[in-house]
């Protein structure tokens, strides 16, 4: 009775296998399949066995288990059509593949990106070109500031004194801007400079401001300060 039940519940899939189809045989219990030249065993797990055959006829699969022996007959169908003359199908020319657009699009995007990068580099390089530095002689800058100083400017005496101090510090290391008016005047003998610096200090620090004086006249005299501070170099031959 057990052997009959074992036989009855043995199944296989697909129900109409063809040549080279994997055929799954499911037994009622773990089974050992006998080897055969009509088929090959692809896999075997417990009561499930997968075989494959290349012969278009009924193959018999013999198996054994603890319940007994069983034979499964599986008809194999051919993949050929009835009355097939076994002539090869006519060759068809290959279909032309569409022209690949993606590589050209990628190349175009890369080229545009490279052009953009070069333009950015060129623009940055132009921006970074240092502008030429125009060096102005201290005497020329001193005279320019004097000529642009307006007589009616607020704190005109203090501004004039600052202009003179800045010039002297630029051309004479011993007349630096850190010196007080008294210290600076103790090192030089120049009445217009002395008057300008004192007038500037009075305007800055005195509650009464600068004393009455001719501003325009002193400003004009200040134009001659470079000739005193930077006397022309006399060549040895000319001195002789």
pLDDT at 183: 93
Q: Is residue 91 included in any domain, yes or no?
A: no
pLDDT at 170: 92
Residues 225 and 145 in one domain: yes
The model's pLDDT over 7-46, given as tens digits with 9 standing for 90+, comes to 556 788 888 888 888 888 888 778 888 888 888 888 888 7
For the cut 50, the answer to whether the pLDDT of residue 236 exceeds it is no
pLDDT at 97: 76
For the cut 60, the answer to whether the pLDDT of residue 87 exceeds it is yes
Residues 142 and 222 in one domain: yes
Identify the residue whose tokens are 């210290």. 183
Please give the structure tokens belonging to residue 180.
């007080």
Q: Is residue 88 included in any domain, yes or no?
A: no
Average pLDDT over residues 137-166: 91
For the cut 90, the answer to whether the pLDDT of residue 186 exceeds it is yes
Distance CA 32, CA 62 (A): 9
Q: Is residue 30 included in any domain, yes or no?
A: yes
Residues 146 and 65 in one domain: no
Phi, psi of 182 (to 5 degrees): -65, -45
Of the pLDDT bands very low, low, confident and very high (cuts 50, 70, 90), residue 129 is low
Q: What is the CATH number of the domain that holds 65?
A: 2.60.40
Would you call 61 exposed, middle or buried from its count of C-beta atoms within 10 A (0-12, 13-18, 19+)? buried
Please give the structure tokens belonging to residue 106.
């990628």
Our count of domains for the chain comes to 2
Identify the residue whose tokens are 């031959």. 237
Q: Is residue 21 included in any domain, yes or no?
A: yes
Domain that holds residue 67: 2-74
pLDDT at 128: 67
Would you call 233 exposed, middle or buried from its count of C-beta atoms within 10 A (0-12, 13-18, 19+)? exposed
Distance CA 63, CA 47 (A): 10
Of the pLDDT bands very low, low, confident and very high (cuts 50, 70, 90), residue 220 is very high
Q: Find, among 202, 229, 215, 200, the residue nearest to 142 by Cα.
A: 229
Residues 142 and 63 in one domain: no
For the cut 90, the answer to whether the pLDDT of residue 168 exceeds it is yes
Of the pLDDT bands very low, low, confident and very high (cuts 50, 70, 90), residue 96 is confident
Among the three residues 74, 96, 114, which one is the final residue of a domain in this structure?
74
Q: What is the mean pLDDT of the chain?
A: 82
């Amino acid at each position: 009775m057990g052997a009959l039940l074992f036989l009855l519940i043995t199944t296989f899939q697909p129900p109409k296998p063809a040549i080279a189809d994997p055929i799954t045989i499911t037994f009622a219990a773990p089974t050992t399949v006998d080897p055969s030249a009509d088929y090959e065993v692809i896999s075997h797990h417990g009561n499930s066995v997968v075989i494959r055959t290349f012969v278009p006829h009924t193959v018999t699969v013999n198996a054994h288990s603890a319940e007994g022996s069983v034979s499964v007959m599986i008809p194999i169908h051919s993949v050929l059509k009835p009355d097939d003359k076994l002539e090869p199908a006519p060759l068809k020319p290959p279909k032309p593949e569409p022209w690949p657009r993606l590589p050209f699009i990628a190349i175009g995007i890369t080229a545009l990106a490279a052009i953009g990068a070069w333009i950015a580099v060129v623009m940055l390089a132009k921006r970074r070109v240092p502008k030429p530095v125009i060096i102005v002689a201290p005497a020329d800058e001193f005279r320019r500031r004097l000529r642009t100083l307006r007589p009616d400017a607020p704190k005109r005496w203090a501004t004039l004194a600052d202009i003179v101090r800045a010039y002297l510090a630029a051309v004479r290391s011993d007349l630096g801007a850190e010196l007080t008016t008294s210290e600076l005047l103790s090192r030089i003998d120049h009445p217009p400079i002395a008057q300008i610096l004192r007038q500037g200090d009075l305007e800055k620090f005195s509650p009464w401001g600068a004393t009455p004086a001719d501003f325009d006249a002193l400003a004009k005299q200040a134009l001659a300060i470079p000739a005193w501070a930077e006397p022309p170099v006399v060549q040895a031959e000319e001195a002789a």
